[in-house]
């Protein structure tokens, strides 16, 4: 696996992440995204929430199933969503701090890119802390959220509440990319995330 020192990387949704300045061109949120964000801000202060990130569609199970050509995407997503929601429930039981559960949102006609842009805005405007559940390093969305969080100095923690440093996150994504590559599948998205983190670390 070769890491390229990319000065600008195109994300899978077609938007550009300029790694020299560590900023992301998120694009506009499709309707009713702005309305949803305004509704969230009407009940909580900016930068007052925790965010729980993890694999929904592109998980380790997803890649393993894809490798043997037996993929039940809806079932994989359902299991992943249930797991994330259990972590969210535990955090809510432990503290009155609001916790965002991204897996519950369903908006007609939104694709993966639309959800991704919306939740990056949620992270940026509402959250001071991001918790990454086990297996997040395989996720197209959660790895993007990790890059976004570290370059905006949002505190990152693992599922057990331990600090998730940029070094540890890079190590986990590298291990996930290697695993995917060994299955004979493309690790391009994860490799791009590694290139982005390399540039964040070199600031």
CA 184-176-59 angle, 5° bins: 85
User: Which 3 state secondary structure label does DSSP give 167?
Assistant: helix
The pLDDT tens digits for 30-89 are 889 999 999 999 999 999 999 999 999 999 999 999 999 998 989 999 999 999 999 999
- Helical axes 112-126 vs 140-151, angle rounded to 10°: 30
The b-or-e profile of 52-80 (16+ CB within 10 A means b, else e) is: bbbbbebbbbbbbbbeeeeeeeeebbeeb
User: Token pair of 142, please?
Assistant: 């959660």
Amino acid 55: pLDDT: 96
The pLDDT tens digits for 120-141 are 999 999 999 999 999 999 999 9
The pLDDT tens digits for 142-167 are 999 999 999 999 999 999 999 999 99
Cα separation, 165 vs 140, in Å, equals 19
Give CA 68 to chain center in angstroms: 25
The pLDDT tens digits for 11-31 are 444 333 333 333 445 667 888
Amino acid 29: pLDDT: 84
Q: Which residue has the tokens 């992270």?
A: 123
| Average pLDDT taken over every residue of the chain | 88
Nearest to 177 by CA among 189, 195, 159, 168: 189
Does this model's pTM top 0.95? My answer is no
């Amino acid at each position: 696996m070769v890491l390229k020192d990319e000065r600008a990387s195109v994300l899978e949704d077609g938007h550009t992440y300029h790694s020299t300045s560590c900023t992301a061109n998120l694009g506009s949120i499709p309707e009713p995204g702005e309305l949803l964000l305004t509704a969230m801000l009407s009940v909580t202060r900016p930068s007052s929430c925790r965010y729980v990130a993890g694999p929904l569609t592109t998980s380790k199970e997803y890649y393993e199933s894809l490798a043997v050509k037996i993929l039940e995407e809806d079932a994989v997503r359902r299991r992943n969503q249930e797991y994330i929601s259990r972590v969210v429930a535990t955090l809510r039981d432990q503290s009155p701090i609001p916790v965002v559960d991204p897996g519950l949102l369903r908006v007609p006609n939104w694709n993966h890119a639309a959800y991704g842009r919306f939740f990056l805005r949620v992270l940026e405007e509402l959250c001071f802390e991001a918790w990454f559940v086990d297996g997040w390093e395989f996720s197209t969305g959660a790895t993007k959220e990790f890059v976004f969080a570290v370059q905006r100095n949002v505190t990152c923690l693992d599922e057990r509440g331990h600090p998730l440093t940029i070094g540890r996150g890079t190590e986990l994504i590298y291990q996930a990319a290697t695993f995917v590559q060994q299955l004979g599948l493309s690790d391009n998205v994860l490799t791009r995330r590694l290139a982005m983190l390399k540039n964040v670390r070199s600031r």
